[in-house]
Amino acid sequence: MSIIQTISQFITPSSLAQISSMLGASQGSVEKAMGGAVPGVLSALMSAGKNPAALDALSKALHQQPPGLFDQLAGNIGKDPQGLADSGHGLLSSILGGGTLGVLATKLMEYAGLPKGSSGSLLGVVGSLVMATLGKEVHSRDLDVGGLLKLLLSQKDEVARAIPNDFAKSLQGTGMLDSISDKLSFADADIPRTDKALKNEPQRKSWLPWLIAAAVLAGLFLYLPGMVGEKNGREIPGSVVGSSADLTVAGVNLADSLQGVFGDLGSALASISDPESARASLPTLQSVQDRLTMIESSVGALSPEGQRALARMVNTSLPALRSSADVVLGDTTVAPVVRPLIDDILYRLSVLASG
């Protein structure tokens, strides 16, 4: 079976119009973004599958999907594209980690010319489509973890053919193309594989995404029912993503803003290996501070339900970010450069997490 062809049946002029309206983007840019996002997400999941913990998390997520979820996709795009986006975003963040997903969202925004902050929601829609399609195959074929990995890897050729060349080039060195790098024409020359890069890069750069994934795994089964809003006929009261909570203030989706903070903070922490790279990370850390100021000033305008949802989002990723920050600050050659900013950011995130 072809996962990409199966998903393509949902990418119709009508669904593109719905997504465009939700994002405030042109239909042309959304169509271009979808063309990169579908193979991009599949490649990232395949690459994540090399890690046993991430593969096991993905398998558990798919086995926990409610029956009939795939058959509800078309209706969900038409009725509640934002709910679909929120659910899918939570799922992808749980598997890939907020940092990896933030990088993918940024690259997609730049590639397709999407409005700032909208690419995370588009990735969420794609995440819902991909996960529901994989879930249908897992259930119908009774696939275990090994079978799921074989299913993913069987899509390598098609994913490599489908991913736009310019978008693939922008993902060089992120690790998200590792699974298909041997199928890309510029792979050997331009795209360093993560396992090769490990020989010369600090170890934390490789384990950071999995640390984040492990930390958010505890919330995975909370996100899953949110894709349809109920399980076994009962409403799931604790569902965050996929709930009716409105996280938009003055036209700004605070969930997207927060995911951007997580992504940039995770990338900045992973990039620090010596005093020079620590100094180079300062503009990014200062940008994170500025965006936190915007989020803090807007939280009060959310409903109580929205404030609780935002707090749960922070609680999901904060432990992993603290752990990676501890590694950075444990290096006495870089701590004096970045400690004031990192300590301030983590404190402010902890306040947001408290609701």
- pLDDT 10s digits, 64-105: 888 778 888 767 777 778 888 888 888 888 788 777 888 898
pTM of the entire predicted model:
0.55
For the segment 270-274, the average pLDDT, to the nearest whole number, is 85
Judged against a pLDDT cut of 50, whether residue 198 lies above it is answered with no
| DSSP SS3 for 144 | coil
Task: State how far Cα 320 lies from the chain centre.
Answer: 15
pLDDT value, residue 302: 87
Region 186-212: mean pLDDT is: 38
* C-alpha to C-alpha distance for 352 and 155, rounded to whole angstroms: 40
Write out pLDDT tens, residues 27-67.
999 999 999 999 999 999 998 888 888 888 888 889 888 87
Distances (CA, A) of 218 to 61, 90, 95, 264, 327: 11, 12, 11, 22, 22
**Residue pLDDT, tens place only, 317-345:** 788 788 888 888 888 899 889 998 999 99
Distance CA 349, CA 345 (A): 6
Phi, psi of 335 (to 5 degrees): -55, -45
Give the three-class secondary structure for 234: strand
Residue 270 has pLDDT above 90, yes or no: no
Q: How confident is the model at residue 185 (pLDDT cuts 50, 70, 90)?
A: confident
pLDDT confidence of residue 243:
40
The per-residue pLDDT for 219 is 36
From 228, 258, 257, 256, select the one nearest 242 (Cα to Cα): 228
61 vs 148: CA distance, rounded Å: 12
pLDDT at 83: 83
Residues 180 and 21 sit within 8 Å (Cβ to Cβ): no
Mean pLDDT of the chain, nearest integer: 79
Question: Does residue 276 surpass a pLDDT of 80?
Answer: yes
- Contacts for 25 with CB less than 8 Å, ≥ 6 apart: 33, 114, 115, 118
Q: Which of 204-213, 243-252, 310-319 has the lowest mean pLDDT?
A: 204-213
8 Å CB contact between 321 and 267? no
Per-range mean pLDDT, top range of 128-142, 181-195, 224-238, 311-325 = 128-142
Q: Indicate if the pLDDT at residue 159 is higher than 90.
A: yes
The predicted structure's pLDDT at residue 32: 94
By three-state DSSP, how is residue 235 classified?
Answer: strand
Whole-Å CA distances, 42 to 14, 37, 137, 179, 250: 24, 8, 15, 10, 33
Tell me the pLDDT tens digit for each residue of 94-140: 788 777 888 898 899 999 999 887 888 999 999 999 999 999 999 88
